[in-house]
Amino acid sequence: MTGIELRGVEKAYGGNQPVIENLDLQIEEGSFTVLLGPSGCGKSTILRMIAGLEKETAGEIFINGEDMRGTSPGARGIAMVFQNYALYPTMTVKENIEFGLKNIKVPKAEREARVDEVVRMVGLTEYINRKPQYLSGGQRQRVALARAIVKKPRVFLMDEPLSNLDAKLRAQIRTDLIELHRKLGATFVYVTHDQVEAMSMGTDIVLLEGGKIRQQGTPQSIYSAPRNLFTAQFIGAPPMNVIKAEDLGPGAVSIYKLPRGTASLGFRPEHTVIGDGTGVPKGVDLFRGELVAREILGDHAIYKFKTDLGIVHAKVMSGSIVEYGEWFVGAERKYLYCFDEKGDAII
């Protein structure tokens, strides 16, 4: 039994061109699935259709095998955490959390116990009688989470819940969410445009562009085996270096013995080799580049080279710091990714 399934889903606003067309998506039960993509790719729309806040123009949505057509948002067994928390401003923390339980008439004793447990879980015991406006951003976020958890839903939907927090808090709540997912064992569907959030938390990533799934898989498979240029360049920081095959010179594909049909080549900054032009290691192709920027980040450093073939980034984990000036950069053959004219990977 799959957790959530979308079959041939389409969404159009008014009479406009559909933003999502014929989308098939499977979200496994108990997974932490991240819908990742640039803004406008339709990821929030997908989430809102799963929640029932937005009606699909065509197609079917199943949650735990049940057709959700005509099922109201409240009856879908889901809970949602919003980007701006969406806490009820006139209610206290406790009232916010128990509102959903009161509406389905959970007996008072059970309600109190559940609220109490959740409040302790997210560490809000002291703030139970405060109104949201007197809480910090992180605390509000935790109230929003508590409000979702207390309903014991089968599915948690989260719409960029960390985007309003500062970097430090974001990192902390990221690990909190991973812990929470493991503890609850529920299905998490998480929308973000931040590939770091997707890679760090997701057990399954769905990469979207223009309303279409470009690749779905584990973070590891999406990172190591991108099926197209879009995936290759969206995942990883800095993004994959891409060089056009024609820039290597006429007949480069046969000279360098690249797979037939190769239009562009990619290699990850982690695999960039930096040399001074002497003692080129075997199997490495180097070309001239000038170091134009460097970021020393303690445990690793990121270098930006300007070459005749375009910008090349290098991410070096250790070793001596590279000085500004002329260098040779390149990559080992085994780390090269080849893409055809359409941007699809050649394997």
Partner 1 sequence: MRVQMPAFRRASGGACRTAVNFLIFAVFFIPFYWMFLTAIKNLGQTLQTPPTFWVARAHWENFNRVFEAIPFFSMLKNNAIMTFGIMICQFFTVIPAAYAFARFKFKGGGFLFGLTLATMMIPAQLVFLPLFLMFSKMGMVNSYASLILPWATSPFAIFMLRQAFKQVPQELIEAAKLDNANEWKIIFKLMLPIARPTIITLGLITFILNWNDYFWPFVLTTDNTVRTLPVGITSLNIVDGGVKYHILMAGNLLLVAPVLVVFLFAQKQIIKAFTYMGGK
Q: Is 77 in the site for partner 1 (CB under 8 A)?
A: no
Q: Which residues pair with 6 in a beta bridge?
A: 25, 61
CB-nearer residue toward partner 1: 74 or 281: 74
The tokens of 341 are what?
């004219």
Per the CB < 8 A criterion, the answer to whether 5 and 26 are in contact is yes
Judged by CB under 8 A, which stretch of 18-26, 88-96, 170-178, 230-238 contacts partner 1?
Answer: 88-96
- How distant, in Å, are the alpha carbons of 4, 36, 263 from that of 188? 10, 14, 38
Shortest Cβ 17–partner 1 spacing (Å): 22
Which position among 4, 20, 23, 51 is part of the footprint of partner 1 (CB under 8 A)?
Answer: 51
CB-nearer residue toward partner 1: 73 or 261: 73
CB-nearer residue toward partner 1: 44 or 216: 44
CB-nearer residue toward partner 1: 87 or 119: 87
Strand, coil or helix: what is 198? helix
Q: Is 155 in the site for partner 1 (CB under 8 A)?
A: no
Give the whole-angstrom CA distance, residue 343 versus residue 242.
11
Judged by CB under 8 A, which stretch of 89-97, 193-201, 263-271, 273-281 contacts partner 1?
Answer: 89-97
Site string for partner 1, 97-116 (x = CB under 8 A): --xx--xx------------
Q: Is 79 in the site for partner 1 (CB under 8 A)?
A: yes
Q: Is 4 in the site for partner 1 (CB under 8 A)?
A: no
Shortest Cβ 102–partner 1 spacing (Å): 9
Q: What angle do CA 8, 71, 190 make, to 5 degrees?
A: 65
Which position among 13, 88, 134, 324 is part of the footprint of partner 1 (CB under 8 A)?
Answer: 88
> For the residues of 142-182, what is the DSSP string, one character each?
HHHHHHHHTT--SEEEEESTTTTS-HHHHHHHHHHHHHHHH
Site string for partner 1, 11-50 (x = CB under 8 A): ----------------------------------------
Strand arrangement of the beta sheet that strand 272-275 belongs to: 272-275, 326-332, 284-296, 301-307, 310-316
Shortest Cβ 292–partner 1 spacing (Å): 43
Q: Is 74 in the site for partner 1 (CB under 8 A)?
A: yes
Contacts of 80 by beta carbon, 8 Å cutoff, 6+ apart: 47, 51, 148, 156, 157, 158, 159
Q: What one-character DSSP code corresponds to residue 280? A: P
Give the whole-angstrom CA distance, residue 10 versus residue 155.
22
Burial call 154-172: b when 16+ CB within 10 Å, e when fewer? bbbbbbbbbeebeeebbee
Using CB under 8 A as the binding rule, the residues of this chain from 160 to 189 that contact partner 1 are none
Shortest Cβ 179–partner 1 spacing (Å): 23
Residue ranges binding partner 1 (CB under 8 A)? 51, 53, 72-75, 78-80, 82-84, 86-91, 99-100, 103-104, 147, 151
